[in-house]
Each structure stands twice: as structure tokens, then as C-alpha cells.
Structure 1
Amino acid sequence: MTLRVTFLGTGGAVPTTERNPSSILVNREGDRHLFDCGEGTQRQLMHFGAGFDVGHIFVTHLHGDHVYGLPGLLETLDFNDRETALTIHVPPGTKSDVRKFLGALGGTPSFPLRLSTVQPESVVLRREEYEIRSFDVDHHTTAVGYALIEDDRKGRFDRDRAEELGVPVGPAFSQLHDGQAVELDDGRTIEPEQVVGEPRPGRTLVYTGDTRPQDRTVEIADGADLLIHDATFADDRAGRARKTGHSTAREAGEIAARADVRKLALTHISSRYAHDVAGHETEARAAFEGEAFVPDDGDVVDLPFPDATEH
């Protein structure tokens, strides 16, 4: 069951030759979601072979380095004869601004385009096996973060135990695994809990966008498989981070440690550090014992299930 993250843009407000402005593509078993759409995102999709089959775009806030790529992407989709609907999710109170922005620069595409207001702390998108939730962040403007949270999966089915209990091989196995009791020919009833283990957790992916360190991030990222956190500055610009509503790499590491996440990706790297991000990783790792890294544009991270190595 695929959960893959492609880092299309990992830079801050000023693009560099190495880093494009913010954009992240998430592929969840064929459902492809774009988080933020900085300038040049359409080219990044082409450059890294990611394709344009995106169904939803989730905008964290309306600073230019997170939305300037929208008009160009929509125009390219139109030129490519897209027919399926595209939904752009935007923070509270910003829908009219986004509509005017897109109308002024990109016109109206021929495919259905929907703008949806994200309600604070809500389920933004619900699918059969997962949901995408919004959560509050602190960036001196109206802004939200997003978390993709999978449902718990069924517990493991103990075939050997089922056969020991006399359950016939076949549909009864599926019935038990689906949580339904089975009555045997001898009159005994086998309950699901006799042959099915405890539910297994799904995966969680959290993207903060731009933010100061927040307790809410710790709460929603509790045990997450991947936390993608603002780390615009290193310790040498901690004061600048506070003033501009951003985080340092060390602060991101502290959030990751408190949330006990598995991996931490440090993004929105200021152009000051265009050629050297080693300090970011060192400072984050001083606070967080898990895997902390600064992804490059084009890097791909696959997230396995937490129990994938158990069997």
C-alpha cells in the first residue's frame, strides 16, 4: 500500500539554483495530493517525472512562495486537455482572494475547478482508508498545516489457530477477518477475537507549512511516520525565525522529539544556506534521536507500515 512523498520544492521564499519554493507531492495508493504550489511547481512535476495527475491541492497559506505556481499549473493542465475536476483547498477567509488571483492571471480553465475553504481543525478530505485533517499553526498570517492519517488496519488473521478450532478453509476465514462470528456444523460459534489479532495502526504524515514551533503540532504528529517541518533557519538566525514566524532546525527537532515521530524532514530552507545544510541536520539531530534530514528537490521517501518488518 503506497505512501510516497516527492519533495518538489524545499526552499524558502527566495528560490535558488538548488531549491525551488515550497511544494510536496504525496501519493497514497494512487491518490495524488499536492501540498502547496510554489513558483515553478509545474516544471518540477515534469523534471522529476511525477506527472500531472493530481486531484487535490492543499494550500497552507497565501504567501507567494506557496501559491505563485498555481496559475501556471492550471494553464498547463488546461493545455493538456484535462477533463477531471481539481479541488484547491485554501485557509479560512482566503477563497475570494485565491479566486481573484487565479482569475487575473490564469483565466477560467475548461476542466471543473473547485475552491474549498478549510475549516479550522477539521477533516478536509475523507477517503475509505484515510483522511486529511487541518491543524492550527503560527505564521503571522492565516495558515494551517495538514496531516494525512490512515485508519487502523485489521488485525492479523491466525490461520493456524482457525484450523485448530475447526473453521473450514474458505469464506468463513474472510467472515471472521471482517469481524463476523462463524457458526460451525457442530454448533460451536467462533468469535473473531479468537483468531484475529489487535487492530494495526496505519501511517501518519504531517506537513506544517511555515510555522513557529507549536504544541498542536506535537499533538497531531504523535508517533507520526514522517513529520515535514519548517526549518527555515539554523541557530545563527534564531531571532529572525521568531520575528518572521518560522522555526529553526533545532526547534523542529525538539518538536519531533516531543511527538516521538519516526522521521523528520527539514524544509523551507532559507537561501542563506543554499550550499550548506549540514548545520541544519546537526542541530536537529542534537534535539531528536530519530532520523532527521534535509531533503533535496526531487528526493522521494516511501513510508512503510510500522509493522512491515515484523513478518
Structure 2
Amino acid sequence: MSMRATFLGTGGAVPTTARAPSAFLVNRDGERLLFDCGEGTQRQMMRFGTGFGINHLFVTHLHGDHILGIPGLIQTLDFNEREDPLAIHGPPGSKRHLRRLVHAGGYQPGFHVTFHEVAPDTVAYSADDYEVRAFETEHRTSSIGYALVEDDRPGRFDREKAEELGVPVGPAFGRLHNGEDIELDDGTVVRSEQVVGDPRPGRKVVYTGDTRPLDSTVEIAQDADLLVHDATFTDEEADRAKSTAHSTAREAARVARDADVRKFALTHVSARYATNPNPLLEQAREVFHGDVFVAEDGQKVVVPFTETAE
């Protein structure tokens, strides 16, 4: 099952010609989940070929650079004759404001839109084999981050061992792999754990939105395949990072290091570094020695399963 993340907007509060405001899309085997929706997100979706068929929109907080793209996106979806419902999730206290954005100017979309307020440490959305979990963040308003967490997958099936135990080739293999025990014609019982290895972890993608570095992020991001963290400033602007409730690249890198993530993306880049983000990357690399990059608008990242990521 494929998973691909696209950075639609990687800039800070002030858009630049190089970076649009915040928007991040995950395509999980055709199911599209959008995280934040800054101004012009629908154009970025066209520009970078993600398609419009999003199933859910997850909003981290209500600052303009994270939500002002919602009216345009809603109307673009409507112009494309969308019929499927859309669920919009946001932090506590956000529902009425998100509803007003959807209906900006008195607009009435031709498809159903639902609104859901999500508290930290709860599940924002649950599917058959994954969840989107909300976690605590610290900004200047009600805010949350989101973690897409897949269920563990069954362990590897040992076909050779199964045949040695007398299991006939066919449907019995699938039953064993799915956790069932089977009885052979001679009455012998073959247990699933005899031929199936330990469960294998699913994938985890963590998106913080705007935040100070927090232990809650370290906890939810533990062993994440991709962490997308606010890294608005360099050390030289550390005081400003504190006063505006953002993170420096170095602070974000400490979170990535402590969580032992596999891949780490710096985003929400201040306009002062929009065309030259190297200072952010250099400071992050002094702390986090793994796979780290400053996200760029349009950048696509494939998120593989752990055993194929080495």
C-alpha cells in the first residue's frame, strides 16, 4: 500500500514567491488527507498534481496562514461537481469559525460538509487500518497537531515451515496468516504463531502545525517514519520564536532526535529564509544526524514501510 506526502505550502505567516502558506497532503493508496489549508491551496493542488479528491481536512489552528484557503478550496471542489461529503476537523472552539469560512460570502456548497472539534489526546478520525490522532501543541491560540498512525501488520508468513507441518497449499495459508489456527485432516492443529512472525509496525506520519517544542510531540512522534515540524527561525531569532510560540530549527531537531524519527522535515519557514533556508538546515543537522531536509513547495516524499526503508 503506497503512501506519498506532498508539501503544498511550506512558508510562514507571510507568503513569498517561493513559498505558499501552510498545507500538507498525504495520499494513502488513493485516500487523500489534507492538513491545514493556507491561502491558494487549491492552486497548489493543481500545480503539483495531487488531485482534489480529499476525504478529510485537518486544521491545526485558526491563524490565517493555515485556514484562508478553505473558502477557495470549497468553491473549487463545488465547481468540479463534487458530491462526496467532506469532514473538517479542528481544535477546540474552532467549529463555528470553520463553518463561517466554508460559507464565506453566503456561499452554500452543493455537497455536505461536517465539522468536528478535536481535543488533544483523542482520535480525530478512525479508519479500518489506521487512525489520525490529535496531540497537544503550544501556540498563541487553541491548537493541536495530528499523527497518522497505521495499525500493525501481520508478521511474515513462513511458507516453508507451513509445508513442513503438512499445511496444504491454498486457503489455509491465508487463514493462518490472518491469525486463525487450522486443523489438518489427521487432526493435527497448526497454530498461527507457528508459521507467522511477530507483527510488523505500520507507518506513522506526524504533522505539528505551529508550536513550541514539546514533550507531547516527542511522545507521539516516537519512531515516526516522517515528522513535519515547525522550524520557523534560526538560533539568532530564538527570542522571537518564544514570543510568537514557534520553534527554531535546532529546537525542532531536538524533538526529532529524542523521538528517533526516520525522516525529519523542517517547515513553516520564515520569509527571511524563503530563498536560502541553509541556515535552518545547518543548525538542525548539528543536533539531528539522520535524514533531515527543509521542505520545499511541491516536494513529494514517499513513506515506505520500515523493512523497505533501509
* TM-score tier (shorter): over 0.9
Partner of 2:286: 286
Give the secondary structure class of the aligned counterpart of 1:115: strand
- Alpha-carbon separation, structure 2, partners of 1:290 and 1:37: 29
Partner of 2:53: 53
| Structure 1 stretches of 4+ moved >3 Å | none
- What residue identity is the alignment partner of 1:154? P
- Alpha-carbon separation, structure 1, partners of 2:302 and 2:205: 11
Partner of 2:243: 243
Partner of 1:44: 44
Partner of 2:130: 130
Q: What is the deviation of 1:120?
A: 2.5
Give the secondary structure class of the aligned counterpart of 1:45: helix
- What residue identity is the alignment partner of 2:228? I
Q: Deviations over 1:42-98 (max 9, x none)?
A: 100011111111111000000000000000111111111111101111111111122
For structure 1, the 5+ residue unaligned runs are none
- What residue identity is the alignment partner of 2:161? R
Q: Is the 8 A contact 2:144 2:208 kept in 1?
A: yes
- Alpha-carbon separation, structure 1, partners of 2:78 and 2:175: 47
- What residue identity is the alignment partner of 1:33? L
Aligned length: 310
Partner of 1:211: 211
- Alpha-carbon separation, structure 1, partners of 2:51 and 2:22: 17
Q: What is the deviation of 1:20?
A: 0.1
| C-alpha spacing 1:309/1:285, structure 2 compared with 1 (3 Å) | closer
Q: Deviations over 1:167-224 (max 9, x none)?
A: 1111111111111111112221111111000000000000000000000000000000
Partner of 1:230: 230
Partner of 2:105: 105
Structure 1 window deviating more from structure 2 (199-208 vs 78-87): it is: 78-87
Give the secondary structure class of the aligned counterpart of 1:264: strand
- What residue identity is the alignment partner of 1:278? N
Give the secondary structure class of the aligned counterpart of 1:62: coil
Q: What is the deviation of 1:113?
A: 1.0
| C-alpha spacing 1:274/1:157, structure 2 compared with 1 (3 Å) | same
For structure 2, the 5+ residue unaligned runs are none
- Alpha-carbon separation, structure 2, partners of 1:305 and 1:229: 21
Q: Is the 8 A contact 2:277 2:294 kept in 1?
A: yes
Matched, 1:32 2:49: no
Give the secondary structure class of the aligned counterpart of 1:25: strand
- What residue identity is the alignment partner of 2:184? L
Partner of 1:88: 88
Q: What is the deviation of 1:105?
A: 3.4
TM normalised by structure 1 equals: 0.98
Q: What is the deviation of 1:106?
A: 5.9
Q: What is the deviation of 1:30?
A: 1.2
- Alpha-carbon separation, structure 2, partners of 1:29 and 1:155: 21
Q: What is the deviation of 1:103?
A: 2.4
Partner of 1:193: 193
Give the secondary structure class of the aligned counterpart of 1:287: coil
Q: What is the deviation of 1:309?
A: 5.6
Q: Deviations over 1:231-282 (max 9, x none)?
A: 0001110110000000000001000000000011000000011221011111
Give the secondary structure class of the aligned counterpart of 1:55: strand
- Root-mean-square deviation (Å): 1.0
Question: Percent identity at matched positions?
Answer: 60
| C-alpha spacing 1:18/1:152, structure 2 compared with 1 (3 Å) | same
Partner of 1:160: 160
| C-alpha spacing 1:187/1:102, structure 2 compared with 1 (3 Å) | closer
TM normalised by structure 2 equals: 0.98
Q: What is the deviation of 1:295?
A: 1.4
- Alpha-carbon separation, structure 2, partners of 1:5 and 1:201: 19
Q: What is the deviation of 1:134?
A: 0.3
